[in-house]
Amino acid sequence: MAAAAPRAGEGTSAPLGATPSEEGVNFSIFSRHATSMELLLFDGVDDARPARAIRVDPAVNRTYHYWHVFVPGLRPGQIYGYRVEGPSDPARGLRFDAEKVLLDPYGRGVVVPDGYRRAAAAEHGDNTATAMKSVVVDPNAYEWEGDAPLRRPSARTIVYETHVRGFTRHPSSGVGEKTRGTYAGLIEKIPYLRDLGVTAVELLPVFQFDAQSAPNGVNYWGYQPVSFFAPHQAYSSRRDPLGPVDEFRDMVKALHRAGLEVILDVVFNHTAEGDHHGPTLCFRGLDNATYYILQHDRTRYADYTGCGNTLNANDSTVRRMIVDSLRYWVEVMHVDGFRFDLASILTRDESGQPMPNPPVLWDIESDPALAATKLFAEAWDAAGLYQVGSFVGDSWKEWNRRFRDDARDFFRGAHGSLRRFADRLVGSPEIYGHKEREPEQRVNFVTCHDGFTLNDLVSYDRKHNEANGEQNRDGCDDNRSWNCGVEGPTDDPAVENLRNRQVKNLLTVTMLSIGLPMIVMGDEGTLHNDNCVGARHLCWLRQSTRPVFCTISSSVSAHPAQLVLELTPREWKRRWRDSAAKAAAYGVRPRRLSGLSSVGAITGNDRCVRQLRLM
């Protein structure tokens, strides 16, 4: 006869999440409106029933709105979840469903059963066998071997935006089949990244996301998070519950050894639970009215994201969760920075109104653990809020969307684009020409993960997203592109030559304009993505413009943005075979300006001449 399990103890309200010790594990979770709760312990991720269900007694295991319990004998790797009872009263914004297994918002690991069904979390009935579940993780059980965030000056940073799966998933990557599309696979391509000359790898979302949260049922990009602490399980080559956490840290350590920083694209503006018809995965079933911004009648979600809901980022509980998440990724996972998707949403209050001094942004900026962390903002949202040049805070770096648009306009010959393009080259002075903004606080880019690649930009006049089943409705219609005379692929050598010249021109101005440059995975090799089916896997056979980018980046990365870049002709190697290469054939020589304390942007009053000949 099996011995009875040790009796659960009272536990403590702090810290939140699952905290292991030598004696067992303490569990703590927040819910203001719950009436009762069960902690579910599982032997396997696919189990239809928990091995043990522990009642969390509100009379004993509750401190204010924090529910907690200590379970002796448990160890890291334990799989768990919650069932939470409370009012199902949409008129009050409450949507409890005790039939659903919920993730722990502070869970450091997540496992996904082979039979996971997003729909089961939205339907009536028990979803235990098909639900994602949390994993107990010991944050200290890893040998970092002296590793720490690199803290490279922003002025010496070149960002390479990449997708963990897409970077090595294609067989041409040369990565073994077992590790293609994983954290381990990315480690194998570090020599390529070093040769490219970039200094920071910006990973598209790696928080655990719902891979079925997409119109066609396959979410590739990762912008549907279900956890803000757990790395995405499917990006790990290991199948054990703790594998993704350790493999992610292996990747970070290897990148740091190569001198490459790790920046995470983070989504704190919405979750994968969608609108009022969506699934109950975590936050909705714990305390819907706390975690989300609701419309005035409380039955519907305010949607400033285009994804069905909006996280209530300036609520005190949610605010704390966001800061705790960032601290965890810096202190425990050793990342170097964050790019905030639709960051302007973080300025909205619980009624959706923008605030002049949003608490969550100042909490992030003033946190000592984040003081040396790079913070990048996509300073707009899907509901029209646009804060480029005026985003709240002193240390935030902003994606310069004006640079993208005006560079595209100039190289397609749009009327009136010359003056705007000149402003972008010299640091967008009308946007950033004030003392509160440093040169590296503008992030210059022509393309990113959203929309056209650089090759698409010179190959199509309009989007062609017909192949993904959405009838070409998805994606932006304002691409400011030029197909160079033929729509789509062509074997006309004159058109191909012109397109290659345009790509080189666009790469060159991105790298040499005042600000912090960013390129997206594959643009150095003319990756195409039109007619996208929801995935962008880098083909390693297309490397026609990579030598151009390598030469520019090796020059630029050696010089801080505080030094004006005087462009001067220089002799180039044989790999520059066509006259278009002259577009990038300018060395970068630093020259200090007398009378200027800082080169934030160059204006008409500055005694400086910049000359760039584009062929």
Any residues with CB less than 8 A from the CB of 448 and at least 6 apart, and which? 161, 399, 404, 518, 520
Q: At residue 138, what are phi and psi to the nearest 5 degrees?
A: -95, 110
Structural contact between residues 286 and 105, judged by C-beta atoms closer than 8 angstroms: yes
Angstrom distances, CA of residue 22 to CA of 73, 87, 260 = 8, 37, 36
341 is catalytic: yes
Rounded CA-CA distance 443/151 in Å is 18
Rounded CA-CA distance 166/527 in Å is 12
* Token output for 67: 């529910």
Q: In terms of Cα–Cα distance, which of 593, 573, 585 is closest to 615?
A: 585
From 104, 210, 265, 378, the catalytic residue: 378
Packed helices 316-331 and 283-291: angle between N→C axes, nearest 10 degrees: 120
Angstrom distances, CA of residue 108 to CA of 8, 244, 337 = 22, 10, 19
**CB neighbours (10 Å) of residue 388?**
20
Structural contact between residues 601 and 514, judged by C-beta atoms closer than 8 angstroms: yes
Rounded CA-CA distance 534/537 in Å is 10
Query: In 151-235, which ranges are E strands?
Result: 159-162, 200-203
54 bridge partner residues: 39
Angstrom distances, CA of residue 49 to CA of 45, 53, 122 = 10, 9, 19
Structural contact between residues 488 and 555, judged by C-beta atoms closer than 8 angstroms: no
27 bridge partner residues: 18, 69
Rounded CA-CA distance 276/292 in Å is 11
Cα–Cα–Cα angle for 231, 300, 214, nearest 5°? 40
Rounded CA-CA distance 205/223 in Å is 6
From 210, 273, 287, 341, the catalytic residue: 341
Rounded CA-CA distance 299/454 in Å is 43
* Token output for 191: 């020599």
378 is catalytic: yes
Give DSSP secondary structure letters for 73-135.
Answer: T--TT-EEEEEEE--EEGGGTEE--TTS-B--TT-SEEE--TT--TGGGTSSS--GGG--EEE
Rounded CA-CA distance 420/422 in Å is 5
Name the residue type at position 82: Y
Between strands 374-377 and 337-340, the pairing is parallel
Q: In terms of Cα–Cα distance, which of 224, 186, 187, 185 is closest to 205?
A: 224
Q: 363: helix, coil or strand?
A: helix
Q: In terms of Cα–Cα distance, which of 345, 353, 437 is closest to 154?
A: 437
Residues labelled as active-site residues: 341, 378
